[in-house]
Every structure is written in structure tokens, then in C-alpha cells.
Structure 1
Amino acid sequence: MSSQKEKLLFSERLKQALTQEHHPISPTFISKQFNARYSGEPISVQSANNWLLAKAIPNQDKLSILSLWLNVSNQWLRFGDNDTQTDKSTLNTEILSAKDYDFLLKFNALTETQKTLILNIIEEFQN
């Protein structure tokens, strides 16, 4: 599939997810809501507009935040696969804040040795 076709299909799914959650299809609304949930570099209204106009697809960490916020699976939002609803095993924004989820994304990127060190530190604080 061509890159432009992928962008177009992503844009359509993003709009569908926004509509299903009764949100406006507005780049200003998307950027404000997204930035409230994302602890990384904030996105601009222009970035959100590019997603809606099929000019760009967000990277994986941003897709994860969008999918949690919009209650759709990451896989469906990016590729159109599976159900639109998140399955029971996916993380939910009602359970985890964006900051917690951001921590999990960063933790997941660590090496096994680094993960072990972090887990040992956490266990020390729990004792």
C-alpha cells in the first residue's frame, strides 16, 4: 500500500474514532486533548491538522496515546486491523494516567538489565 493511501486511511479512522467518542473533528481540540495526556513534546495544532488531512501519521508513542484516549486499539488506528474497540488486555486511560503510560513506554524500551535494576529499586521503596 502506498504511503499516501496509508495516511488517508489513518485519517479516516482517526475521524471515525473521534466521531464515535462524540468529539469534534478539530485540530485545535485534538492538540489540546492530546497534549493534556502526553508527557513528551507537545504537538502543534498544525500536527493534528496534518493527521486529519492525511498529510502525516503520528509515531508509535503518539499513536498509543491517541488510541487510549479514543478507546480504540493501537493496531486498528494505525493499520485498520481488528476491532475498533480496545481489547480487555490493552491499557486504559481510566486505569493509567498519560504520565503512567509514558513511564511504561520508557520502561519497555530499556534493556533487561536496566529493567531489573529499576524493579529492584521499586521493591526497595515498597519494603
Structure 2
Amino acid sequence: MDEKQLFALRLQAALTAAGYECRPSVLEREFNLRYWGAPITFQAVRRWLRGDSIPSQDKLQVLAGWLGVEPQFLRYGQQSSQDRGEMQATWVIPVGGEEDEVLRIYRGLTEEQRKILRQVVLTFARANGLQPEDTEGSS
């Protein structure tokens, strides 16, 4: 097996361990809820799950944080020397108050509504001099 196929097996195992169905539609939806770059496509996550490609490092970081594993475990199959038992997320973003309310509402929207809202947020960000990363087309 090559490294892409091994990555796919680790990703599938992490999804299952985290309580998610190992389906491209589930991965696409859940990943895009957590990733602030350009949304990934169904085809991109399908390639990840089939072992045809490996996501970029920024996407690995998001996957790892969401699934509660370390990025190097997803990418290379290695656990850190300090964490040989239960794996934990490598970062936590505390959310409360208004942010919590907005995220809760956002997660309840349809996929199409989330895409529209994302474009509105990006428009406000650009209008205020914030330049979100342009990762359109990368997987």
C-alpha cells in the first residue's frame, strides 16, 4: 500500500472512532463547518477516503483537531512520544457567547445557506482589509 492509501485507512478509522459515518458527504459537510478557507468539494473528500490524494497541511490540521487525533498521526501514522494512549486534539478554540450562538445557527443551516453566508462573511472581511486565505481548488 502506498502512503495515500494508508492515509485513507487512518482517516476512515479516525472518522469511525469519532462516531461519524465514513462517507464523503459526511466528511465534506463536517469539514467545511470547521474550515475557514475555501470549502472543499465532495470529489476532494472522496479522493481522500479512496486513497487517491492527501490533503494539504492546513486541512490536515483541521481534520486532526476535529477528529481528536494528531496531524502527524493522520499523515504518517505516528503518535507523539508524549501521547501513546488516548489521542487528543492538538488545539482547542474556546467559543462562547455570541460566537457560540452564531456557530450553532450556522450549523443548523442547509449547505446552500452556509455557502451563501460564507460568501457574505468573506465579503465583509475583504471590505475591512482582512484577506482570507485563497485556497480555492486545492485539496
Length-normalised TM-score, structure 1: 0.66
Structure 1 vs Structure 2: percent identity of aligned residues? 38
SS in 2 for 1:24: coil
The answer to whether structure 1 residue 91 and structure 2 residue 88 are counterparts is no
1:32 partner amino acid: R
CA RMSD of aligned residues (A): 1.9
The answer to whether structure 1 residue 75 and structure 2 residue 77 are counterparts is no
Partner residue in 1 for 2:33: 36
Q: Deviations over 1:3-35 (max 9, x none)?
A: x71001100000000010110001011011101
Larger RCO, structures 1/2 (Cα 8 Å, 6+ apart): 2
Cα distance in 1 between the residues matched to 2:46 and 2:34: 18
Corresponding pairs, count: 91
Question: Which runs of at least 4 in structure 1 moved beyond 2 Å after TM superposition?
Answer: none
Shift of 1:86: 2.7
Structure in which a larger fraction of residues adopt helix: 1
Cα distance in 2 between the residues matched to 1:23 and 1:56: 21
2:68 partner amino acid: N
Listed as ranges, the gaps of 5+ residues in structure 2 are 100-139
